[in-house]
Amino acid sequence: MTETSSPKIAVVGGGTGLPVLLRGLKNLPVELSAIVTVADDGGSSGRLREEMEIPPPGDVRNVIAALSDQEPLIIEMFQHRFNSNSELSGHSLGNLILAALTSITGNFVHAIQEMSRVLNVRGHVLPAANQCVVLNAEMEDGSIVIGESKIPEAGKTVKRVFLTPEPIKPLEESIQVIREADLIVLGPGSLYTSILPNLLVPGIGEEICKAKAKKVYICNLMTQPGETLNFSASDHIQALYSHMDCSFIDLILVNNEPIPSHLKYRYQEEQARPVVFDVENLAKLGIEVIAEEIISLDKGLVRHNTEKVAQILYSLIER
């Protein structure tokens, strides 16, 4: 980073966690790039993926909406999900537009670029791969579960996840973004179904391991049934390391703010609980722990406070 250029942040993930984080980061004086998973196979994305043989647009759509500077009504329209008795039911308008642009341009990446231009997106939105990939999980009992949406539903302990079919190629733009980044951020998001699918694309995980940038993992606030049941913060890190064959996380951001009892009870009913940040185990891994009050309560859900997290990440660049 030169004195005149903006610091470059590369954020890797998907699901609901990534857009929450990006809404805070986009207001900072940084050059922002989001590398987004394309392993989704459920809902509207799964249907379009199956029918049109294109990468699933849902995670990308949510990131575009989060980074857009368009009028709120335009974004509301882009995110609108049809609810009717027709074949449109369940589809979001943004997914359909991205599918149409992919058909017109012949390329999913070009479709994202055009949509980003129309919606005045701050930053770069990059799919982890410009093709359909299938996320598979090998469970502790030896069984194989095929499909991102099926993994949490299996009710078993995940041993490892992997992608098919081969060969899978990363975008050159994504590799360049990782190499040039001043800060690489992973999470928040589902460990096995939102974060690892990006790292498993050949080239992306390796480049992150080699990158000179600081790498920070934003730990989830709650455990996730079917994925990280009873996981501590260090368990999340160990799962990343076991898939990457390298120890690459420099810092971990964890929450130390108490979660209201009524919300903990509600999450317990779903077999989820606050993630315990086991400082001693994290220290043994050589990871710096940043513990802050970073929760935001949104409609009865526990989410990361996007502004606080963004400011913490920005302060890491200054260090």
Torsion angle in degrees (nearest 10) through CA of 200, 205, 206, 208: 180
Q: Please check the confidence at residue 3 and state whether its pLDDT lies above 70.
A: no
Q: Rounded CA gap, 178 and 279, in Å?
A: 28
Give just the sign of the alpha carbon dihedral 137, 143, 149, 153: negative
- Whether a cis peptide bond, with omega within 30° of 0, leads into 188 is yes
pTM summary value: 0.95
Helical spans, DSSP H, in the chain:
17-25, 43-52, 58-67, 72-79, 93-105, 108-118, 172-180, 196-199, 204-210, 233-244, 261-268, 279-284, 306-318
Under DSSP, is residue 112 helix (H, G, I), strand (E, B) or coil? helix
If 0-12 CB within 10 Å is exposed, 13-18 middle and 19+ buried, where does residue 51 land?
exposed
- pLDDT (0 to 100) of residue 300: 84
- Gap between the Cα atoms of 164 and 201, Å rounded: 10
Q: Around Cβ 40, how many Cβ atoms within 10 Å?
A: 27
Once rounded to an integer, what is the mean pLDDT over residues 263-276?
Answer: 93
pLDDT of residue 162: 98
Residue 86 or 253, more confident: 253
DSSP 203: T
Q: What percent of the chain has pLDDT over 70?
A: 99
29 cis-preceded (ω within 30 degrees of 0): no
- Does 1 score more than 70 pLDDT? no
Token couple for 31: 């050059």
Tell me the two tokens of residue 65: 């909406």
CA-to-CA distance for 134 and 23, rounded, in angstroms? 28
CATH superfamily of 1-39+167-318: CofD-like domains (3.40.50.10680)
Residue type (1 letter), 7: P
pLDDT greater at residue 136 or residue 87: 136
More confident residue, 88 or 125: 125
In whole numbers, what is the pLDDT of the chain averaged over residues? 95
Return the domain boundaries, the chain.
1-39+167-318, 41-127
Quick one: pLDDT band at residue 236, thresholds 50, 70, 90?
very high
Cα angle value 115/117/121 (rounded, 5°): 90
d(CA 111, CA 292) in angstroms, rounded, equals 38
pLDDT for the residue 120: 97
**What tens digit of pLDDT does each residue of 100-146 get?**
999 999 999 999 999 999 999 999 999 999 999 999 999 999 999 99
In the predicted structure, residue 2 carries a pLDDT above the cut 80: no
Average pLDDT of the segment spanning 86-103? 94
Residue-wise burial string across 98-115, b where 16 or more C-beta atoms lie within 10 A, e elsewhere? bbebbeeeeebbebbbbb
Q: How far apart are CA 156 and CA 237, in angstroms?
A: 20
Reply yes or no on whether the pLDDT at 4 is more than 70. Answer: no
